[in-house]
Amino acid sequence: MEMSIQMKKKRKKRSAADMTFIICNTIFMALFVIITLYPVINTLAISLNDGTDALRGGIYLWPRRWTFKNYTTVLQKDNLVTGAIVTVARTVIGTLTCLAANAILAFIVSRKRFMFKRQLSLFWVITMYVNGGLIPVFLLFKGLHLTNSFWVYIVPGMLNAFNMLVIRTYMEGIPDSLEESAQLDGAGYTEIFLKIISPLCKPVYATVALFVAVGQWNSWFDAMLYNRMSDNLTTLQYELMKLLSSVTNQGTSVEAMKNASGAVTPTSVRAAATILTMLPIICIYPFLQKYFVTGLTLGGVKE
């Protein structure tokens, strides 16, 4: 009798500790979500609010004076429109070429009978650890006439050891018997790659495509370094960066107020441009979750 009371007491005590844990954990997660989402929602609110009015501050989650003027201003800015077109082009072309190139390389090095399997793998793995660095690469691209050219966004990043390893790991999991039976039927390596292996690799292709596409969409440094002189080759993120520096230079000063044409300010225009830039990503990524989870786990298995 006494013992069972003691046990009950003990259990009660334990569940009390567990309750504290659950409460603390919930608070932590709530804070985490708020801190993650607040800046995005705040930017959205500012982008939908009258620019001059926003300078007074106090806009948090909801616009005070609604307007779409910031968005119409953004869409009328030629450099932002050019940036958007170039960014879409480099994302589409860059993703497709990069995926194709890495898939071919991964296919080759995952063939069991290929004679230079190890050497070719190693040739790429080394590039993960050693690279020439900024200056030699810059001079090389200059020498290859890749500067002031759209192709600097596409060609240099086409093959990449990490993406290759992710695809290779996946391909190595496909049973050899498939390849062998196809070979008995007279299929060459090209057919095996296109008709047998690739259809099975759709999930890992999706993963790599997602990684590459996000990288392409978000990059700005190559635009600044190699194509600074070509206004028609600017990218969305680079234009956004220019907007950011114009905002920080002017600050929320009286001068900014004066410079603000009508109801828009650099801050509000930047907010609108930021929302437009992140919109495609926000819309797409939740649906691709399972792919990048697989990708990361595969990427963890190296060499």
Q: Taking CB under 8 A as the criterion, which residues in 129-158 touch another protein?
A: 129-140, 144, 155-156, 158
Count of residues near another protein by CB under 8 A: 96
Q: Which range in 15-23, 166-174, 199-207, 255-263 contacts another protein by CB under 8 A? A: 15-23
Could you say which of 179, 270, 272, 291 contacts another protein (CB under 8 A)? 270
Give me the amino acid identity at 2: E
Instruction: Read off the tokens for 114.
Output: 């290929």
Q: Is 104 in the site for another protein (CB under 8 A)?
A: yes
Closer residue to another protein, CB minimum distance, 189 or 263? 189
* Short-list 69, 36, 66, CA closest to 272: 69
The Cα–Cα gap between 104 and 86 comes to 27
Query: Please, what is the minimum distance in Å from the beta carbon of residue 200 to another protein?
Result: 19
Judge contact between 98 and 157, C-beta under 8 A. Answer: yes
Q: By rule CB under 8 A, what string of x and - marks binding of each residue 187-226 to another protein?
A: -xxx-----------------------x--xxxxx---x-
Determine, following the binding rule CB under 8 A, whether residue 237 of this chain makes contact with another protein: yes
Percentage helix, strand, coil, to 5, in the chain? 75, 0, 25
29 binds another protein (CB under 8 A): yes
Spatial CB neighbours of 240, under 8 Å, sequence gap ≥ 6: 220, 270, 273, 274, 277
Q: Which of residues 163-192 bind another protein (CB under 8 A)?
A: 188-190
Amino acid found at 19: M
Pick the closest to residue 226 from 157, 124, 130, 127 (CA basis): 157
Measured CA to CA, the distance from residue 173 to residue 204 in angstroms comes to 12
CB of 88 to another protein, least distance (A): 15
Give the burial class of 255: count Cβ atoms within 10 A of its Cβ; 0-12 exposed, 13-18 middle, 19 or more buried: exposed
Q: Looking at 9-17, 65-73, 170-178, 195-203, which segment touches another protein (CB under 8 A)?
A: 9-17
Closer residue to another protein, CB minimum distance, 40 or 254: 40
Q: How near is the Cβ of 156 to another protein at its closest, in Å?
A: 6
Backbone φ, ψ for residue 190 (5° rounding): -60, -45
Q: 261 vs 289, which CB is nearer to another protein? A: 289
Kindly state whether residue 46 participates in binding another protein, applying the rule CB under 8 A.
Answer: yes
Looking at beta carbons only, is 60 or 68 nearer to another protein? 60
The H or E element spanning position 272 is helix 266-284
**Shortest reach from residue 241's CB to another protein, in Å:** 5
Return the number of the residue (29 or 178) whose C-beta is nearest another protein. 29
From the centroid of its chain, how far is CA 269?
A: 23
Separation CA 110–CA 169 (nearest Å): 8
175 vs 188 by CB, closer to another protein: 188
Residues 48-77 that bind another protein (CB under 8 A): 55-58, 60
